[in-house]
């Protein structure tokens, strides 16, 4: 691995380091895993077109996407009863929080 293992571990530091590091990091990581798992398990996802998602990074300290992700989802058939709103595909778009235009 380029730069050794240490360099790899400090490439992404979302919770800070040292004495002031975020004490909620363990909790936040678990909640994010659960939230992502729920989105995958409870909904059927589709792309809005044949185009692949653009994963390039925008500018800013929160690693915003350069282009927001747009996708469609509807509730998985195992989710019953589900709110009527999610029975047909609904289109979503991630917020764009890039600080530069
Ligand atoms: C994705 C979620 C979160 C991110 C990205 C995040 C990130 C951070 C960052 C960058 C810091 C500053 C570290 C530093 O000054 O070096 C911080 C501090 C802190 N975070 Fe979080 N945090 C998250 C969730 C949480 C949660 C869920 C809690 C509590 C349940 C929490 C409680 C705190 C506290 C109390 C501090 C101040 C620590 C201190 O100054 O001693 N955070 N967080």
Dist. CA 18 → ligand 1 center (Å) = 12
pTM attached to this predicted model: 0.77
Q: How confident is the model over 10-52, as pLDDT tens digits?
A: 677 889 999 999 999 999 999 999 999 999 999 999 999 999 9
Q: Which residue has the tokens 């077109």?
A: 49
What are the strands of the beta sheet with 90-93, ordered from one edge? 43-47, 70-75, 90-93
Encode burial over 29-48: b for 16+ CB neighbours within 10 A, e otherwise: eeeeeeeeeeeeeebeeeee
Q: What is the pLDDT of residue 96?
A: 64
Give the chain's end-to-end CA distance (angstroms, integer). Answer: 35
* 22 in a known ligand binding site: yes
Ligand 1 nearest-atom number relative to CA 18: 16
Residue 63 Cβ inside 6 Å of ligand 1? The answer reads no
Q: How confident is the model over 60-95, as pLDDT tens digits?
A: 777 788 888 999 999 888 887 777 777 788 888 887
ipTM value of the model?
0.97
């Amino acid at each position: 691995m380029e730069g050794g293992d240490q360099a790899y571990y400090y490439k992404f530091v979302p919770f800070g380091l040292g004495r002031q590091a975020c004490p909620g990091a363990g909790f936040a990581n678990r909640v994010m895993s659960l939230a992502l798992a729920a989105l995958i398990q409870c909904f059927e996802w589709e792309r809005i077109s044949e185009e692949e998602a653009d994963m390039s990074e925008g500018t800013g300290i929160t690693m915003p996407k350069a282009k927001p992700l747009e996708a469609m989802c509807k509730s998985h058939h195992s989710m019953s009863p589900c709110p009527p709103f999610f029975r047909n595909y609904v289109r979503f778009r991630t917020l764009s929080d890039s600080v530069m235009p």
